[in-house]
Amino acid sequence: MLNDNYVSGWWLLLAAWLLAAIASMSAIYIGEVLGQSPCILCWFQRAFMFPLAVILAIACFNSDLAVWRYALPLASIGALFAMYHSLLYVGLIPQEIKPCTATGPSCSGAEMTIFGGVPLPFLALGVFAAIIILLLYIRRRMLS
């Protein structure tokens, strides 16, 4: 019989995977369907979110709660890029946000917001933070 920590840890893992999968599919949708090319910082964030979706899916399939050991560094580095991008967005870091392409939208443009004005860099930071929190809960359940 499975213990409660293991079962609840699996549900936390599933939630982390769903967040990563939805974020990855949303990024693909924005780029491929809406035709908005990502900026350099968006590419770096994608470079850490896309593997998380795959790694967490495999971990869910295999019920591998030890995934936090290798997913947590990916999520943390991605969160650092998202935090830097968010700080650039609000102007706390004095550097101009370059347009995503020569003729494309800027990350600071209105078309790069969702849910009534939430900028995409903030959304990415929120998703990375939520995944980190879920992975830390999984870690706590594994070690208890």
Confidence of residue 15 (pLDDT cuts 50, 70, 90): very high
Predicted pLDDT at 125: 96
At residue 68, what is the residue type?
W
Gap between the Cα atoms of 79 and 94, Å rounded: 20
Predicted pLDDT at 99: 42
Q: Which range in 4-13, 69-78, 114-123 is most confidently predicted, on average pLDDT? A: 69-78
Lowest mean pLDDT among 37-41, 92-96, 98-102: 98-102
More confident residue, 4 or 138: 138
Confidence of residue 141 (pLDDT cuts 50, 70, 90): confident
Predicted pLDDT at 1: 42
Q: Average of pLDDT values for 36-55?
A: 90
pLDDT tens, residue by residue, 100-126: 545 545 666 666 777 777 888 899 999
Name residues whose C-beta falls within 8 Å of residue 36's C-beta, 6 or more positions apart in sequence.
Answer: 30, 100, 104, 105, 111, 112
Encode 15-58 in three state secondary structure: HHHHHHHHHHHHHHHHHHHCCCCCCHHHHHHHHHHHHHHHHHHH
Mean pLDDT of the chain: 84
This prediction has a pTM of: 0.87
Q: Which two tokens stand for residue 89?
A: 């967005």
Among 47, 42, 49, 41, residue whose Cα is nearest residue 16: 49
Gap between the Cα atoms of 59 and 61, Å rounded: 5
Instruction: Give the number of other CB atoms < 10 A from CB of residue 107.
Output: 21
The answer to whether residues 96 and 135 touch, using CB atoms and an 8 Å cutoff, is no
Q: Percent of the chain at pLDDT above 90?
A: 51
